[in-house]
């Protein structure tokens, strides 16, 4: 059974995500009490799934739910795209040994309001250079994940930029297992393995779009399954909905 705390659209596959919603349907059955689903939202880390559990099982009508679900999906996909772009800027600049100050300026251009001052980001990133992955309680500080607050994300990306600038690309090797973002981890591995810039640039562009398309597909499936539970569809019909997206 897929646990609510394990539901993360960037980590779970489509089949696992469908299994989560089908588990919720089994839990509710054909009853009219949706309160357990609203309580389940407290344990779900993924913001889109949590949003659906919050809006689908109250008094909001279905057409309005679809509008709100799309609005949330658009917001999250836009944020995800920006995070990919921040990682892409960092990785390509690492490949070219760009000055981290210039890399930071490019990153800050992604925001209408910067999450932190450049001086603060550089100070915190430089502090990370004095730590090692083996240090007690240090490993988590080097993680680049899809859910970091903006300031922490930019800081950690600049750390990797500084690491390559002060040492070399091979210095990143011991940090790769500490990175949970598939996009950044795989891009980092390409740099370490010595792939040339045209290939890395093309790979990042293609993988970025594939990841966004995958996230949008999962969000659409989640919306249909959540509305199916709301409409009290039979379990067999819920399975048919799920199979449409598999």
Query: What pLDDT was estimated at residue 31?
Result: 74
**Confidence band for 136, pLDDT divided at 50, 70 and 90:** confident
- Residues 69-88, mean pLDDT to the nearest whole number: 97
| Mean pLDDT for the stretch of residues 185-209 | 96
Average confidence (pLDDT) over 207-212: 97
Inform me whether the pLDDT recorded for 2 exceeds 60. no
Q: What is the per-residue pLDDT for 127?
A: 94
pLDDT for 135 equals 80
Per-residue tokens: 217: 């597909």
> Residue 199 pLDDT more than 70?
yes
- Residues 112 and 44: their CA atoms lie apart, in Å, by 30
Q: For residue 63, what are the contacts with CB-CB under 8 A and spacing of at least 6?
A: none
SS3 content of the chain, % helix, strand, coil (to 5): 70, 0, 30
* pLDDT attached to residue 41: 77
Is residue 19's pLDDT more than 60? yes
Q: Among 211, 229, 221, which residue's Cα sits nearest to residue 48?
A: 221
In degrees, rounded to 5, the angle at the alpha carbon of residue 50 between the alpha carbons of residues 47 and 52 is: 110
Rounded to whole angstroms, how far apart are CA atoms 153 and 146? 9
Q: How confident is the model at residue 47 (pLDDT cuts 50, 70, 90)?
A: very high
Structure tokens at 29: 């059955």
Distance, in Å, from the CA atom of 233 to the CA atom of 122, rounded to the nearest integer, reads 54
Distance CA 85, CA 36 (A): 38
pLDDT at position 36, please?
81
Place of tokens 């859910």: 147
Which of 141, 96, 100, 98 is CA-nearest to residue 118?
A: 100
Instruction: Provide the mean pLDDT of the chain.
Output: 93
Strand blocks (E) in 127-227: none
Distance CA 178, CA 63 (A): 43
Residue with tokens 């799309």: 70
Kindly report the pTM of this predicted structure.
0.91
pLDDT of residue 5: 61
Which among 191, 218, 217 is positioned nearest to 204, based on CA atoms?
A: 191
pLDDT, average across residues 205-224: 97
**Rounded Cα gap, residues 54 and 184, in angstroms:** 31
Question: b/e string for 200-238 if b means 16 or more Cβ within 10 A?
Answer: beeebeebbeebeeebbebbebbbbbbbbbbeebeeeeb
């Amino acid at each position: 059974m897929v646990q609510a705390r394990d539901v993360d659209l960037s980590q779970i596959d489509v089949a696992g995500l469908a299994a989560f919603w089908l588990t919720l349907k089994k839990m509710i059955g054909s009853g009219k009490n949706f309160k357990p689903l609203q309580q389940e939202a407290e344990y779900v880390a993924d913001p889109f799934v949590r949003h659906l559990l919050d809006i689908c099982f109250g008094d909001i009508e279905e057409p309005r739910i679809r509008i709100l679900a799309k609005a949330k999906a658009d917001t999250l996909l836009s944020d995800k795209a920006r995070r990919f772009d921040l990682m892409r800027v960092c990785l390509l600049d690492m490949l070219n040994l760009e000055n981290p100050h210039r890399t930071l300026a490019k990153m800050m251009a992604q925001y209408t309001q910067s999450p932190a001052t450049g001086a603060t980001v550089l100070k915190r990133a430089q502090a990370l250079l004095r730590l090692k992955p083996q240090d007690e309680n240090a490993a988590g500080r080097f993680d680049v994940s899809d859910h970091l607050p903006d300031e922490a994300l930019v800081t950690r990306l600049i750390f990797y930029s500084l690491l390559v600038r002060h040492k070399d690309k091979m210095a990143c090797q011991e940090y790769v297992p500490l990175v949970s973002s598939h996009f950044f981890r795989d891009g980092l591995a390409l740099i370490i393995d010595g792939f040339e810039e045209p290939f890395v640039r093309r790979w990042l562009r293609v993988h970025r779009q594939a990841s966004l398309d995958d996230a949008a597909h999962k969000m659409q499936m989640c919306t249909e399954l959540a509305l199916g539970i709301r409409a009290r569809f039979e379990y067999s019909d819920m399975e048919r909905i799920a199979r449409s997206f598999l």
